[in-house]
Amino acid sequence: MSTTTTETAQIISPSQLLNHWQGHRALTRRVIDAFPEKEFFEYAIGGMRAASQLTLELLAIGAPALKAIVERDERPYTEEGSALTTKAEFLQQWDASTAIINTYFLQIPREDFSKTFNLFGQYNSPIIDSILYFIDNEIHHRGQMYVYLRGLGIEPPFFWER
């Protein structure tokens, strides 16, 4: 069997990838919601950041990054300017970000997924690699939140229920 430098087979469609990501986002939302208010902002283990800080990072990446990709805006990454002070505000922003992701993801032409873009002016890679990173990063931070919930004696949502 020979290999070529040109890939012709597609394993997953853009809409399947978006559905996959949104399944993860729905699960992460349920994990955030499982936290008691105080612990969402204060509880951490082993020097890791609190769940609110992890969530703030996820909010600063997903929707803003997709918007930047579509608009080819290389503005630097920032978490500044967020005035979220309650878990309810975080959940509301999570839902708003989900809608933004749906809007911008669908604006990426299929042929652009393999194109290189310098995300946040510092991550120069194919767009598909950036999107896969967004998903991987969310899974990583959700895993940390699972540890926190277990440490608090709270049963987290089943990870396979996406």
* pLDDT tens string 76-126: 787 765 789 999 999 999 999 999 999 999 999 999 999 999 988 888 999
* Bridge partners (DSSP) listed for residue 123: 119
What CA dihedral angle connects 95, 22, 58 and 129, to 10 degrees? -150
Helix (H, G, I), strand (E, B), or coil: what is residue 123?
strand
Q: Quote the pLDDT of residue 141.
A: 96
Distance CA 92, CA 99 (A): 11
Distance separating alpha carbons of residues 162 and 156, to the nearest angstrom: 13
CB 94 within 8 A of CB 29: yes
Model confidence, pTM: 0.88
SS3 126: strand
First-to-last alpha carbon distance for the chain, in angstroms, is: 37
Q: Are 126 and 113 in contact (CB under 8 A)?
A: yes
- Is the model's pLDDT at 9 over the cut of 70? no
Q: What is the pLDDT of residues 26-60, one digit of tens each?
A: 999 999 999 999 999 999 998 999 999 999 999 99
Four-residue CA torsion sign, 55, 88, 92, 34? positive
